[in-house]
Amino acid sequence: MEITIDIDDSVPLFAQLIGQIKQAVLCDEICPGDALPSIRQLANDLELNNKTVAKAYRLLERDSVIQTKGYRGTFVHPDAKANSTVDLNAWVVTKLGETIGAFRESGVTDSEIRIAFGDVMNRRSS
């Protein structure tokens, strides 16, 4: 499995990582059960910070593309192939687009939408 990171790309590093690992799963370069390099090791190979790789792994595990088994390492999830095609973000964008579209048609200002968005995001996290 070859992973290439382009620092000059506008796509965030952790996002590039996620994309390439998903791609590798879809192309059968890595199969369910296969072990993935450890966070520290991959970070070292790609000359990235541990946190950057850890962030990618965290997101990949949430999407059930990989499975972390504590001290035993990280492995490709059994349903990785199916879950790599399911783009959670695409669903969020679509759903959010519908909602915001309705606002705009009602004459709500983009500025007001942004403010409301900020309120909603801050109220629940505190």
Chain contacts with DNA (rule: CB under 7 A) = 12-15, 36, 38-41, 48-52, 54-55, 57-58, 61, 68, 70-74, 110-111, 114-115, 118, 121-122
User: CA 110 from chain center: how many Å?
Assistant: 27
Report in angstroms how near the CB of residue 49 gets to DNA at its nearest: 3
Which residues in 45-74 contact a copy of itself (CB under 8 A)?
Answer: 59, 62
Helix locations, the chain, DSSP H:
13-26, 39-46, 50-62, 80-85, 88-105, 110-125
Smallest distance, Å, CB 37 to DNA?
Answer: 7
Which of the choices DNA, a copy of itself, none does residue 46 contact, using the CB cut-off of 5 to 8 A by kind?
Answer: none
Q: Which of 38, 96, 105, 126 binds a copy of itself (CB under 8 A)?
A: 96
CA 87 to chain centre: 9
C-alpha–C-alpha distance, residues 12 and 105, integer Å: 33
CB of 123 to a copy of itself, least distance (A): 8
CA distance linking residue 86 with residue 28, whole number of Å: 16
Which tokens belong to 37?
Answer: 């390099």
